[in-house]
Structure 1
Amino acid sequence: MALLKDNNYRERRVTNSTINEQAGAPRTAKTPVEPLVKVIAVIATLGGLLFGYDTGVIAGALLFMKTDLHLTPLTTGLVTSSLILGSAFGAMTAGRFADRLGRKKVILVLAIIFMFGSLGCAMAPNAHMMIFFRFILGLGVGGAAAIVPVYIAEIVPSNRRWQFVTLQELMIVSGQLVAYTSNAAINEVWGGETTWRWMLGIACVPALIMWVGMLFLPDTPRWYVMHGRFREARDVLERTRNSRYVERELADIRKAVAPKDERHSRRNKTISTWMKRLVALGIGIAMIQQLSGINTIMFYAPTMLQSTGMGTNAALIATICNGVVSVLMTFVGIMMLSRFGRRPLLMVGQMGCTAMLIIIGCLCYFLPESVDGAPNLVRSWMILGGMLLFLCFQQGALSPVTWLLLSELFPMRIRGRATGISVFMMQMTNFTITLSFPLLLDAVGLSMSFFIFAAVGIAGAIFVVLCAPETRGKSLEQLEKQFKKQFDDTPNTPVV
């Protein structure tokens, strides 16, 4: 009798768990993840590591490159921002090809671009060739930013999606930390005007590892279903899921993709109004991350600290603190995501970043630049402290949520293209800010530059409060139904 009661209890427990899962409720217990999922996540997010390294390494390399390549304020901005411009077009192109050819094939091509671009930058004989190869390298950076989160989001179990997609952000900030640390170490060991060539060239090593690793990994089950390859989709699900969920998830994916009739088939060749609104929302979320001014700190931190009176070595070593704080706060952000969800963290991150920009601007404006004829190092270290607090909000909340939302917002049929468009706009915003910041710094000074970013941040905070969605605890298919119901109130329009 006791055994019968126990069996009944377990049966009700399983049934209730299944009902909650189908309804999209967050699960209290974590489902064990197959080892292949972890391998996939680590290899794919090497693209994030390269993203971080290639964007962060320029901060230290510029200090030596200026003399060796005879850079002016304009060419300094072009060398730094050409990678961002390339990444914008890389995101757009990779997103379109990922829907057609597959996520895996595109990531393989991106790894080759990373290798070629890194070697080209390391051997560039002048500023013009450096700008060209930084643009080529940017194609890989942007493609990885757009496709790697989509690849991971589509291949991991939905209840662990937040954890593995945000690993991309962790790898980005880890890449930046590696760049800052290696910059200081290479300068300490070798030094000299050509030090920057070693700084830029070693990025080809993780690119080679990513290319080799991706050769042995599958594409995503959702892409396989989109192209009618159901056997391969089932095989990937069986290798990355608990076996009892495979058939139900495969059925949900097929239902989301397969046309029910001829009219529905024609509709698949158009982009609906609700999809366009989601793309507009994704663009807004992506741009906000860059309008905070994050990459002015990540790219130009040594330059800014030098302008406050720090020496070259001190500025390089101090910049490592930026990388350390970014990595630690990304861990914190990942843990908070599981507890608080996307929308609250996005609001806290945006408002916190804006407040810190105002504080940094005040420090630059009110504290004297020198004391008794010597640089005011107290001012320098307080500005560095303000930067670190800014990074706490940016990397602990704003950035992880941004990448996670971009992997979740869009319906399966346009996910690659829509993510590419959003990252394109993100990187075009980044490009504009990165190119103009040296000129802005020269024209209005450090304090007014931060006040300008703070004013933009206030507008961004209003957007987040009014528009940011919550996607926690739902599968990608459930989110697609939710957003369609929320935004679909007008007829379909042709694809542009």
Structure 2
Amino acid sequence: MDVRDDRDEKTQPLLSTAAIDDAPPAVSRRLRLITVIATFGGLLFGYDTGVINGALPYMTKDLGLTPFTEGMVTSSLLLGAALGSLFGGRLSDARGRRRNILLLAVVFFAGALGCTLAPNTELMVVARFVLGLAVGGASVTVPVYLAEISPAERRGRLVTRNELMIVSGQLAAFTFNAVIANVGGESGGVWRWMLVVATLPAVVLWFGMLAMPESPRWLASRTRYQEALAVLKQVRSEQRAEAELAEVTAMAIEDEKAKLGGWDDLRVPWVRKLVLVGVGIAIVMQITGVNTIMYYGTQILTDAGLASDSALTANIANGVISVLATFVGIWLLGRVDRRPMLMAGQIGTIAAQLMIGVFSLMLPAGDGRAYAVLAMTVTFLAFQQGAISPVTWLMLSEIFPLKMRGFGLGIAAFALWITNFLIGLLFPVLVDAVGVSNTFFVFVALGILAVTFVKLYVPETRGRTLEHLEHELRARYS
């Protein structure tokens, strides 16, 4: 499959609607409010994936976990997320983005409560799996909702606010872990307090989404054009809302004629190629090994020579740099193309992982090695969260046709979470077998393959409306 495009991407046609949204301030405030409420799904995604980092050592002692059951507790959420993303994408296409987010808020609450109350390893694995269903569903539904409600020229920044909330959730998890551990000390069940905090943003998400509108593009895909126009007028000037609805309606009719919207679409060559590219983008994000640091960062620092409480506190630096880097990424997305940004992030992560491997191999255990490794994990996360993660979720929310946007993103996210699951499950086993250095050298080799894939196959998406982009990609891959 060769889908390279040798044209200068900067000469490709850009926005077909106005470049600057002339909406009044009240409309802009409404769009910001929608973004804040919807991205509580990202906050929950981040907290529930990051909290295990600090809770796991206490949970291991309390529940008697082995290296394998540690991997199962960590990765059961990821397996649930894989299935949640696949079915969540279909549900959001069938029932609507807003209704799906409301359902996910309930699942987030139930999963977090189940994890908090789990009396043994088996029930913990089940509860983490349920929580994963919500994480996976949110990972595909929230970016699509934001992409479909955003003006084209602001789509990059608004969609990547979800990534900002994800890393903010992870930072919150690391911070609460450290505070709760310092207050609770070695008392039994301290990890339960770390887990129960996640029920609070789930309540905020559910009540908040009750007052939010449905995606105008989803409404148009269901021929509910007047409702779609009413929503667009909430977040656009009236003139622009009417012009955009005409474009969305034409695209919806075209997709309806092409019968897009399910598994049969994969028989269509251009759709199949696009889905494969999406799957590749998703896998590329995960084989950097980012979640080995997000899930096992405390243990990596402990193995390098820090005491457990010091490692918990030092690990907050990973959360802080993730948030700061995401701010930089949001700023860059409005100024540079997506594909070069993705490749620059990959090269940075490869260099940082190479140095983690070298330091772990060459330096003696102790504070010196621990802080050298910490410096490289911070560098790694700066490139990952400042470039790779925001570009990945943004591009996956953009590239699929209207009628199968949730479904296509669901397939790509399924591949992302399965890859994440395998890495989360195997990382502690691999470190136990071959050591930290050799494990990170494996990620370096995978990173080189990832850069090659992006160079050859990934398209540029910046500066197009979703409808214009669909026409462009249909022509490119046909």
Normalising by the smaller structure, the TM-score range is over 0.9
- Are 1:476 and 2:466 matched, yes or no? yes
Question: Which residue in the other structure is 1:4 paired with?
Answer: none
**C-alpha deviation, 1:368, in angstroms:** 2.0
Please show how residues 264-275 of structure 1 align to structure 2 within 5 Å.
Answer: 264=257, 270-271=264-265, 272-275=268-271
Query: 2:292·2:424 contact (CA, 8 Å) conserved in 1?
Result: yes
Q: 1:25 to 1:288 in 2, by over 3 A?
A: farther
Q: Which amino acid aligns with 1:339?
A: R
**C-alpha deviation, 1:218, in angstroms:** 1.2
The residue matched to 1:368 in structure 2 has which SS?
A: coil
Question: Which residue in the other structure is 1:127 paired with?
Answer: 121
Question: Which residue in the other structure is 1:143 paired with?
Answer: 137
**C-alpha deviation, 1:36, in angstroms:** 1.5
Structure 2 CA distance for aligned equivalents of residues 165 and 332 of structure 1: 14
Question: Which residue in the other structure is 2:227 paired with?
Answer: 232
Q: 1:61 to 1:22 in 2, by over 3 A?
A: closer
Please show how residues 43-192 of structure 1 align to structure 2 within 5 Å.
Answer: 43-191=37-185, 192=187
Question: Which residue in the other structure is 1:218 paired with?
Answer: 213
Q: Which amino acid aligns with 1:165?
A: V
**C-alpha deviation, 1:217, in angstroms:** 1.0
Q: 2:343 aligns with which of 327, 342, 347?
A: 347
Structure 1 CA distance for aligned equivalents of residues 66 and 142 of structure 2: 35
Structure 2 CA distance for aligned equivalents of residues 68 and 186 of structure 1: 16
Question: Which residue in the other structure is 1:10 paired with?
Answer: none
Deviation string, structure 1 residues 264-295 (Cα, Å, up to 9, x no partner)? 36577852211111111111001111100000
The residue matched to 1:472 in structure 2 has which SS?
A: coil
Deviation string, structure 1 residues 177-211 (Cα, Å, up to 9, x no partner)? 00000001111122322100010011000001100
Question: Which residue in the other structure is 1:194 paired with?
Answer: 189
Q: 1:322 to 1:259 in 2, by over 3 A?
A: closer
**C-alpha deviation, 1:26, in angstroms:** 5.7
Query: 1:154·1:222 contact (CA, 8 Å) conserved in 2?
Result: yes
Using the size of structure 2 for normalisation, the TM-score is 0.94
Aligned residues: 461
Query: 1:48·1:172 contact (CA, 8 Å) conserved in 2?
Result: yes
Structure 1 CA distance for aligned equivalents of residues 205 and 409 of structure 2: 22
**C-alpha deviation, 1:25, in angstroms:** 8.8
**C-alpha deviation, 1:216, in angstroms:** 1.1
- Are 1:406 and 2:396 matched, yes or no? yes
Q: 2:203 aligns with which of 204, 208, 225?
A: 208
Question: Which residue in the other structure is 2:273 paired with?
Answer: 277
Question: Which residue in the other structure is 2:34 paired with?
Answer: 40
Query: 1:26·1:473 contact (CA, 8 Å) conserved in 2?
Result: no
Please show how residues 371-382 of structure 1 align to structure 2 within 5 Å.
Answer: 376-382=366-372
Structure 1 CA distance for aligned equivalents of residues 21 and 109 of structure 2: 43
Structure 2 CA distance for aligned equivalents of residues 260 and 67 of structure 1: 55
**C-alpha deviation, 1:470, in angstroms:** 1.2
Question: Which residue in the other structure is 2:299 paired with?
Answer: 303
Q: Which amino acid aligns with 1:132?
A: V
**C-alpha deviation, 1:38, in angstroms:** 0.9
Structure 2 CA distance for aligned equivalents of residues 31 and 390 of structure 1: 41
Query: 1:25·1:473 contact (CA, 8 Å) conserved in 2?
Result: no
Deviation string, structure 1 residues 296-328 (Cα, Å, up to 9, x no partner)? 001001111111111111000000000000000
Using the size of structure 1 for normalisation, the TM-score is 0.90
Deviation string, structure 1 residues 340-374 (Cα, Å, up to 9, x no partner)? 121111010111111111111111111122xxxxx
- Are 1:428 and 2:418 matched, yes or no? yes
Question: Which residue in the other structure is 1:372 paired with?
Answer: none
Q: 1:217 to 1:292 in 2, by over 3 A?
A: same
Deviation string, structure 1 residues 31-53 (Cα, Å, up to 9, x no partner)? 96522211111111001000000
* Residue ranges of structure 2 left out of the alignment (5+ in a row): 1-12
**C-alpha deviation, 1:154, in angstroms:** 0.3
Structure 2 CA distance for aligned equivalents of residues 177 and 445 of structure 1: 27
The residue matched to 1:418 in structure 2 has which SS?
A: helix
**C-alpha deviation, 1:445, in angstroms:** 0.3
The residue matched to 1:121 in structure 2 has which SS?
A: helix
* Residue ranges of structure 1 left out of the alignment (5+ in a row): 1-19, 370-375, 489-496
The residue matched to 1:416 in structure 2 has which SS?
A: helix
Question: Which residue in the other structure is 1:357 paired with?
Answer: 353
**C-alpha deviation, 1:23, in angstroms:** 3.9
The residue matched to 2:302 in structure 1 has which SS?
A: helix
Query: 1:49·1:174 contact (CA, 8 Å) conserved in 2?
Result: yes
Question: Which residue in the other structure is 1:331 paired with?
Answer: 327
- Are 1:258 and 2:248 matched, yes or no? no
Query: 2:101·2:141 contact (CA, 8 Å) conserved in 1?
Result: yes
Q: Which amino acid aligns with 1:479?
A: L
- Are 1:415 and 2:405 matched, yes or no? yes
Structure 2 CA distance for aligned equivalents of residues 29 and 455 of structure 1: 48
The residue matched to 1:222 in structure 2 has which SS?
A: helix
Pair member with larger Rg: 1
